[in-house]
Amino acid sequence: MMRKKSLVEILWDLVSLNLGTKLISIIIAIVFWGIVLGSRNVEVTKEIPLEIITPADIVPANEIPEKIAFRLSGPKAFLRSILDRKEEPIRVNLSGAKPALVTYRFFSDNIRVPIGVKVLSINPTAILIKLEYLKRKDVPVHLDLKGAPPEGFHLVKAEIKPEVIRIKGAESRVDSITEVSTQPLDISHLEKNLEREVPIDLNRYNVQIDSELPRAFLEVEPASANFRIKNVDIQVISSYKVRVEEKSVTVLVRASPEDLQNLDRSQVFGVVDLTGKPKGKYHEPVKVTLPKSIGLVKTVPDTVNVVLY
């Protein structure tokens, strides 16, 4: 009859199984650990994001750092792995707080470090959080323009729509704001009308936009002509037969030599709209159609005599 092994014998069998391989692994691990711990220590700075959790109607009213910096010392191999590691934010839970001044301190256990790594310093060691009620308000927007249109053009109209936007933030911050400005919009190369969304820099106010961004509407016109287009045909819109005393007009334009060289003359024509007008004689303005890249300065003559019969 086979004798039943005791617990001690079973454990010894497990330990003695491949004992040589296990001893070598343990020796290698001890040597590696000793080399790492015995290597020269270095210092690094690890920054960890900071997140403030508050009730929906409460917000910080003062500047809060986005990250907390930990100065670490230890073996280079360990520090490299810490620097490469993606950190979860340090969460300051104030979800049950009311408007007040709150001080929060940071400690070495706010960062995970292995044995052999020390936290030398923390910057900042504490923060002061001023909590206030969240407020919303409508404020006017100022369109900030940078520079002037290029030579030969002038700005006819500059508008921003809507003229009022809604902002939100800490009560004291919002109350101090009477107007906001757009980021500077450079018009030094503006040679045609422009419509675009314009950003608003509210970082200095520590508030946010609570509505859509406004849009800028800019209109420019050529101030002087550098080319002329002769013999521009006139089209009269009417249900009657027409007779035009002036068969064509000359158009003074502002354009680049390339745009003028590539101009399709079928895109250039004058229009006199007499829709719904009865038979008779008329002295009417000529509306000239041009490609968008070419600016109209003047039409010669700018009016023509038309007979409907």
Topology, domain 134-222: RNA Polymerase Alpha Subunit; Chain A, domain 2 (2.170.120)
pLDDT band at 16 (very low <50, low <70, confident <90, very high): low
Residues of the chain with CATH 2.170.120.40: 134-222
Q: pLDDT (tens digit, 9 = 90+) per residue, 85-95?
A: 999 999 999 99
φ, ψ of residue 275 to 5 degrees: the values are -60, 130
Topology, domain 227-308: RNA Polymerase Alpha Subunit; Chain A, domain 2 (2.170.120)
Task: Determine what percent of the chain falls in helix, strand and coil, rounding each to the nearest 5.
Answer: 20, 45, 35
Question: Is the pLDDT higher at 268 or at 9?
Answer: 268
pLDDT at 216 over 60: yes
- Contact 291/254 with Cβ under 8 angstroms? no
Residues of the chain with CATH 2.170.120.30: 40-133, 227-308
Topology, domain 40-133: RNA Polymerase Alpha Subunit; Chain A, domain 2 (2.170.120)
Residue type, 123: N
Q: pLDDT (tens digit, 9 = 90+) per residue, 22-35?
A: 556 665 555 555 55
Mean pLDDT of the chain: 87
Amino acid 12: pLDDT: 53
pLDDT at 225 over 60: yes
pLDDT at 153 over 90: no
pLDDT band at 285 (very low <50, low <70, confident <90, very high): very high
Mean pLDDT of 277-291: 93
Torsion of CA 65, 67, 68, 74, to 10 degrees: -160
Q: pLDDT (tens digit, 9 = 90+) per residue, 199-212?
A: 998 877 889 999 99
Q: How many Å separate Cα 232 from the centre of its chain? A: 46
CA-CA distances (angstroms) from residue 261 to 251, 255, 264, 300?
16, 10, 9, 22
pTM over 0.85: no
